Structure 1
Amino acid sequence: MDIGSQAPAAYDAACEHLLGLQRDDGSWEGEMEWSTMVLSQYVIVLHLLRRPVEGATRQGAIRYFTRTRTAAGGWGMHPQGPPSPYATTLAYLALRLLGVGPGEPLAADARRWLLTRPGGVRAVPQWGVFWLAVLGLVPYRRVAPVPPEAMLLPSWVPLHPSRMLGWTRMLYQAMAYLYGSRFRADLGPLSHELRAELFPRQEPGGAPEAGTDVPVGRSAALRVLQSCLRGWERVHSRRVRRAALERCHRAVVDEQHASPHHGLSSVNALVECLVLFAHDARHPLLGAAVARLEYWRWSDGERGVRICGDRSTVWDTAFATEALLASGSPTAPDRLDRAVGRAHHFLRTAQITTWTGPTVPARRVRGGWAFSDGHSRWPVADCTAEAVGALLSAEAGTEGHRRTDDAVPPPRFTTPALHDALEVVLRRQNRDGGFATLDRGRAGGWLEILNPTEMFSNCMVDTSSVDCTGSVLHALSRMRPLLRPAARRRADRAIARGVAYLRGAQNRDGSFTGTWGINYTYAAFLAARGLRSAGLASDDPALRALGGWLERTRLRDGGWGEDWRGCPERRYIALEHSLPEMTSWAVLAGLDTLGPAHTAVEGGVRWLCTHQQADGTWPGDHVNGVFFTTMMLNYRLYRAYFPALAVGRYLQAATPRAFPARAFPARAASEGTA
């Protein structure tokens, strides 16, 4: 079948499926699956807060543990990862707290895997040792120091926690409180049982052994620093310790007020609940903080109850909106206008306009968008950029369409709101010209030498990334005609610096390295889009080189597929078969570099068309996202809107080739919710 007849039908079916997934509030959101680690921490924290998981939630959690364990009996750090000592140890502890007996297969198999592994539970990295200490199973002297006194340092000191990346900083101040106060649970007789089950032949704790969970070794500088901090633990002033603990507590309270009982992520929210409880079991903020934990919960009858790492509502809504408008020539404008108008309203109301914390934030907050929704007070540069782009597309895409009475044009994205968004992204441009996520980088890359996590890489400083920079360049280029002259000049300077950063970040083979998606293919899409939006021609040397890389990495089946192992190994590793989201990213990059008539681009579109299912979806369950280089994620909605976006953009670029007219089916968009 010719691509001229395949592509329009595939796009219509994909859009029909997307329209059916739109929620009543106008948003889209797919689950962002990470690991059982977060569910384990959820069970542990609620048990420590004397609110144990019971009833249907308990059964659902056990179901999820059952469905996600590996054939070896352990659990991985992501849906496709090998068994992990850290994830398996936490899962075992959670299962025992849920009432699963040590002889039941789910727990017995996990324990057997742990004890037959070299090092046993000693292979757990420091984050695992920290949880073992909180549960009272190992002494705190085995935990790498997390001194709360660092919060008392002057802010100009290079080691002040305020210089860390936001996620790391928020965790540090909470963990430092628990570490500094030596908070530990009293599990009663269960403590003795767990020690005997997990440490039958060895003293608990100690240095982890290199392996699955320890990709980041301790540097000599870190070992020296930790040795000094252990010495400090023996001689520190109690008065100073009390002051430091109170500073940590106030920082947690401030975050609870600023993002009302929401937290930056589920992991942050869980540890902050423990801090409130450790400070005062009747803390006035504790009840609301615990209730808000339900925000992070996903559940269904098939897979059970799980806790996601984050919510991606703004991110998914922005790309879903762009996908619906991608072809540029809808033949059912009234229905499309209703869906896009609702999405426009959601994104407008998700813009952060207030700050409720008692302390003035060190970063620009008002005017941005978070990854999740308008409740969070953590705007992200690329989320802000994609939200602005979707809003501008929604306004441009619905202009001139025939409307019925209930298809009212959305209110315009106002000039003050646009300039507020500009300030948010400009405040996140680093000295190297690239854009960071939550903050502008506040320390040099040298701080990574002192990374104590052992599990995560590039988690200490908010450095620039190719994918974030590409998103911002695309948004700035679309915003600039609407800006006031002075703001337009600032945007132009930021664009020029961003282009220079991307040129410098390009690899010798023409590829770009991604940070938040897997990996080189993801970066290719956003880098190409950003550079073309900034005014570079498709025959620019950087884009020609990227196009050549796309040609060379195309698989025999006509699409693209990338192995997640390339992220921690920092090299491109191709799969033997293509994947829909990666083929979509490559097609989008190819449209900006090779052009719609190129055989590689047409081949990628043909792959998408021939692998689409009857309901307009694409099969697959491969991880497609990443954070901190080593942690893989599965964004379940990526396989819905990125193929639609790619095929739609192809149709728009190939319009002179006279593809046939298209029409969405007649079912009303309001019928579907998620």
Structure 2
Amino acid sequence: VAVLVLSRIKQIAPSDLRKRIEFAVDRAVKWLFAMQSSNGGWAAFDRDNNHWIMAEIPFCDFGEVLDPPSVDVTAHVLEALGSVGYKLNHPAVQKAVEFIFREQERDGSWFGRWGVNYIYGTSAVLSGLQAVGFPMNDPRVIKAAEWLASKQNPDGGWGESCASYMDDTMRGCGPSTPSQTAWAILGLINVRSPKYTGNILQGVQWLIKNHTEGTWSEKHYTGCGFPGYGIGERIRYKRNTFLLTQGRELSRGFMINYNMYRHYFPLQALGRVKHWLQRSQRS
């Protein structure tokens, strides 16, 4: 986020501040490259911290001492790198894109490690791929966009229950929320296809309709601290049934209501829709 913000502020900053911004962004980008894991992805805190034996330490925080690379963090890093000019011809970007597509689900979506859940992961990937110049008419991208569009609720918004971390039938299903509606809009708008204009505008109408007292209310938890898997990463149920010591209630999980999600993600989505509509009118 810091790199994204600074890369935009630099364009309007005075010359003395611009030099400081360039210095800070250059340091941040070097750090990001150094933190890329060997499989091409990025994690939230560590590099290559994915050895399951560490989860056996009895005093671990929720048993979640591991921090394996995740698709959503990797996608956010790509979006940041794209904002400062890195594209598909960079080796680190290529490795990250390969990691992302290895992790794509059969239905076209992506798992969300730090936000609930597949709506978050899919939106992050579409934004990251577009930022580094990946062709958004690629069949894998279109499959993801189709999945995202298909999960729109009749009221025009999007929502997903935390139960989707344990029940695949709940993927992309749940009452509409401001943050998850915003994520879906951000994902679809980055596909740059007129096919999804209706979905995007319906989502915008939902956000406008549910905007009260200057912001949005969100009672549902849309942030994920720990899914409760014990290993910190996406698990495949059929291959790892021994890990399933919880049900849809997520008795081992730790979900978070990040209070700012309901504020800044809808604002970000509406801002990008505004620029998108302005570009469309000019063309």
**Fold similarity call, TM over 0.5:** yes
Contact kept? 1:517, 1:626, Cα under 8 Å: yes
The CA distance in 1 between the partners of 2:94 and 2:165, in whole Å, is: 29
Q: Specify the code of the residue in structure 2 equivalent to 1:599.
A: G
Evaluate the alpha carbon distance shift between residue 531 and residue 549 of structure 1 in structure 2; reply closer, same or farther with a 3 A threshold.
same
* 1:419-568 map, 5 Å: 419-444=26-51, 446-447=52-53, 450=56, 452=58, 456=62, 459-480=64-85, 492-568=90-166
Tell me, yes or no, if the aligned pair for 1:427 and 1:439 is still in contact at 8 Å. no
Deviation at 1:393, TM superposition (A): 1.4
Letter in 2 for 1:577: P
Does 1:394 pair with 2:4?
Answer: no
Letter in 2 for 1:447: I
Structure 2 segments unaligned to the other structure (5+ residues): 228-252
Aligned 8 A contact 2:177 2:218 in 1: yes
Choose from 17, 23, 44 the match for 1:411. 17
Match of 2:276 among 653, 657, 665: 653
| CA displacement at 1:566 relative to structure 2 | 1.6
CA drift of 1:441 comes to 1.5
Task: Name the CA distance, whole Å, in 2 between partners of 1:451 and 1:545.
Answer: 40
Change (3 A) 1:454 1:556: farther
Q: Pairwise mapping of residues 178-193 of structure 1 onto structure 2 (< 5 A)?
A: none
Amino acid aligned to 2:45: L
| Separation in 1, partners of 2:192, 2:153 | 17
CA deviation after TM superposition for structure 1 residue 657, in Å: 4.8
Alignment of 1:14-25 (within 5 A): none
Which of the numbers 587, 600, 604 marks the counterpart of 2:185?
587
Percent identical? 31
Task: Give SS of 1:557's match.
Answer: coil
Match of 2:176, SS? Answer: coil
Q: Does 1:634 align with 2:253?
A: no
Quote how far apart the aligned CAs of 1:598 are: 2.2
CA contact (8 A) 2:118 2:172 kept: no
In the superposition, the TM-score normalised over structure 2's length comes to: 0.81
Instruction: Spell out, residue by residue over 1:21-43, the C-alpha distance to the aligned partner (whole angstroms, 9 max, x if none).
Output: xxxxxxxxxxxxxxxxxxxxxxx
**Number of positions where the alignment pairs a residue of Structure 1 with one of Structure 2:** 255
CA contact (8 A) 2:55 2:66 kept: no
Q: In the alignment, which residue of structure 2 is the partner of 1:271?
A: none
Structure-2 separation of matches of 1:453 and 1:421: 33
Residues 415, 391 of structure 1: alpha-carbon distance in 2 compared, 3 angstrom cutoff? closer
Q: Which residue of 1 aligns with 2:249?
A: none
- 8 Å CA contact 1:436–1:462 kept in 2: the answer is yes
Residue 59 of structure 1 is matched in structure 2 by: none
Unaligned residue ranges in structure 1 (runs of 5+): 1-385, 400-407, 482-487, 660-674
The structural deviation recorded for 1:636 is 0.9
Inter-partner Cα distance in structure 2 for 1:528 and 1:624: 19
Describe the superposition over 1:284-339 as per-residue Cα deviations: whole angstroms up to 9, x where unpaired.
Answer: xxxxxxxxxxxxxxxxxxxxxxxxxxxxxxxxxxxxxxxxxxxxxxxxxxxxxxxx
Counterpart-to-counterpart distance in 2, 1:507 and 1:448: 27
**Structure 1 residue aligned with 2:241:** none
What is the deviation of 1:450?
A: 2.5
Give deviations 1:493-524, integer Å, cap 9, x for gaps.
11110000111111000000011111111112
Alignment TM-score, normalising by the size of structure 1: 0.35
Matches of 2:80 and 2:262 in 1, distance apart?
23
- TM-superposed CA distance for 1:418, in Å, is 2.7
Alignment of 1:211-610 (within 5 A): 386-396=1-11, 398=12, 411-412=17-18, 413-444=20-51, 446-447=52-53, 450=56, 452=58, 456=62, 459-480=64-85, 492-569=90-167, 572-593=170-191, 595=193, 598-610=197-209
Q: Secondary structure at the match of 1:654?
A: helix
Structure 1 consecutive aligned stretches of length 4 or more whose deviation exceeds 3 Å? 413-416, 451-457, 568-576, 594-597, 656-659
Alignment check: 8 A CA contact 1:447 1:460 kept: no
Q: Select the residue among 191, 195, 211 that pairs with 1:612.
A: 211
Q: Deviations over 1:104-135 (max 9, x none)?
A: xxxxxxxxxxxxxxxxxxxxxxxxxxxxxxxx
Shift of 1:552: 1.4
- Secondary structure of 1:604 counterpart: helix
Q: Distance in 2 between matches of 1:417 and 1:576?
A: 41
| Aligned residue identity for 1:439 | D
Conservation of the 8 A alpha-carbon contact between 1:441 and 1:461: no
CA-to-partner distance for each residue in 1:601-620, whole Å, 9 max, x for gaps?
1211111122212x321122
Q: For residue 576 of structure 1, report the CA deviation from its aligned partner.
A: 4.8
Asked whether the 8 Å contact 2:40–2:96 carries over to 1, the reply is yes
Question: Which fold has the larger relative contact order, with Cα–Cα distance below 8 Å and residues 6 or more apart in sequence?
Answer: 1
- Distance in 2 between the 1:604 and 1:410 partners? 41
Alpha-carbon distance in structure 2 between the residues aligned to 1:480 and 1:657: 24
SS in 1 for 2:256: strand
Measure, in 1, the Cα distance between the counterparts of 2:148 and 2:73: 20
Letter of the 1:450 partner, please give it.
Answer: E
